[in-house]
Amino acid sequence: MLSKKVLNDIVMPQLAESLVSATVGKWLKQPGDPVEQYEPICEVITDKVNAEIPSTLDGVMGELLVQEGEEIAVGTVICRIETEEAVASSESVSQAAESVQTTSVTSVDSGDAHRARYSPAVQTLAAEHGINLQAVPGTGLGGRVTRKDVLHYIENQGSKASASAAVQATPAVQPQVAPVQAVTVPGVIPTAPVSEPVRHSGLHLTETPRIPTIEVEGGRSEYLIDVTPIRNTIATRMRQSVSEIPHGWMMIEVDVTNLVQLRNKLKNEFKQKEGINLTYLAFVLKAVVGAIKDYPIMNSVWAVDKIIVKRDINLSLAVGTEDSVLTPVIKNADQKSIAGLARDIDDLASKVRAGKLKLDDMQGGTFTVNNTGSFGSILTQPIINYPQAAILTFESIVKRPVVINDMIAVRSMANLCLSLDHRILDGVICGRFMQRVKDNIEGFTLDTQVY
């Protein structure tokens, strides 16, 4: 059996229906490098997210036809991969009949080759959960590991870990603590002792903000920064939003004292159980979803001669990176519990930080929420995420003296700010919507369930 070398064209795939072009950001493989099927060969930059392009076959990287930083259309050949193709000699042809009888035997061994090939979805899922794919039983063709196999393996491992932890756990002896006498204010829920004091300032960053690393050029008195496709899209959408949408704005003040106590009560147990933080934003999203159900016009889009009201409530989250703001989407947020929303928030934020967002994560949003309080803001006037009808910001929680029943009490307070499309929405409906969000947030008690 002889073989010959064949050059195969690799083209720019269409990562989404609306995608017509992309920019090659970085080549991960150079000519002469061995390449395996599904292994990333380059990074591309689109107008929404960055993505990796996987190889479609095994071989050796050949010629690179596109330079880094070059924008190309979907379907353009970006590189070539060299593979070996078997060529039958006259002697091998005469032996073909004999090999037919052994096909059924050798086909069993070919399952190992199938099993060693993993799809990008399987590889991504395994990397996120730190799973060795060799240990995962495969149910696909030839024993190949599928995404369902990985999810089943994760579920079983989680069940085993929970059972092991339950066996090893020992009852803890709770120390006797003398009761604390609390001063009550008529009409106000008494403030219970909390395990962690509420911050007294707006600033509550969990880590030192990173400075963006950029390549610059220019003279001594100035420097130039190339506009990336994502930054160009942000500029286009913001200009379109401001020029087409007549923005209105309003703000409402919310007493979040009970919410702070509830979160302090649940956060440690939630962290141990779920492995993620229970943030205030999850509760705010639940309150917003409840208000949108009561006022569905908030979940709409302007269409010149009609207003389109969306039935699905898909919340866009404004997540900032060092050099851009992205708005990944929590799909069907109205069908999720507080715990479910917290998991989605953590998942999307992790994807943004790791640059792993997919185009599908960015599409379908109907209403945007921005947690501007995470970096200490107490008042913002956001620009609407075009073409949605409104955007709401949750500002920093601060302790302030508040007059309640002619008495002064120290309460944890936060501002909610709303920018609205005045073609669709007016002050009356938005005022009622904001009041409903306020009522929902202030309605959280120590008995509120997150599951």
Show which residues are catalytic.
422, 426
Angle at 333 between CA 130 and CA 247, to 5 degrees: 120
d(CA 203, CA 209) in angstroms, rounded, equals 12
Q: Are 375 and 205 in contact (CB under 8 A)?
A: yes
Q: Report how far apart the first and last C-alpha atoms of the chain are (Å, whole number).
A: 63
What sign results for the dihedral spanned by CA atoms 295, 252, 191, 188? negative
d(CA 113, CA 111) in angstroms, rounded, equals 5
Q: Is 442 left (phi over 0), alpha (psi -120 to 50) or beta?
A: alpha
Supply φ then ψ for residue 330, to 5 degrees: -90, 110
d(CA 341, CA 145) in angstroms, rounded, equals 29
How many CA atoms within 13 Å lie on the side-chain side of 143?
A: 15
Q: Where are the beta strands (DSSP E) in 285-351?
A: 300-302, 307-309, 315-317, 319-320, 325-326, 329-330
3-state SS, residue 140: coil
Supply φ then ψ for residue 90, to 5 degrees: -60, -35
How many CA atoms within 13 Å lie on the side-chain side of 70?
A: 14
Cβ neighbours of residue 26 closer than 8 Å, sequence gap 6 or more: 42, 43, 68
Cβ neighbours of residue 220 closer than 8 Å, sequence gap 6 or more: none
Which residue carries 């207003």 as its tokens? 307
> What length does the chain have?
451
Q: Are 37 and 43 in contact (CB under 8 A)?
A: no
Token pair of 448 as six digits: 């509120």
Cβ-in-10-Å burial (0-12, 13-18, 19+) of 306 comes to: exposed
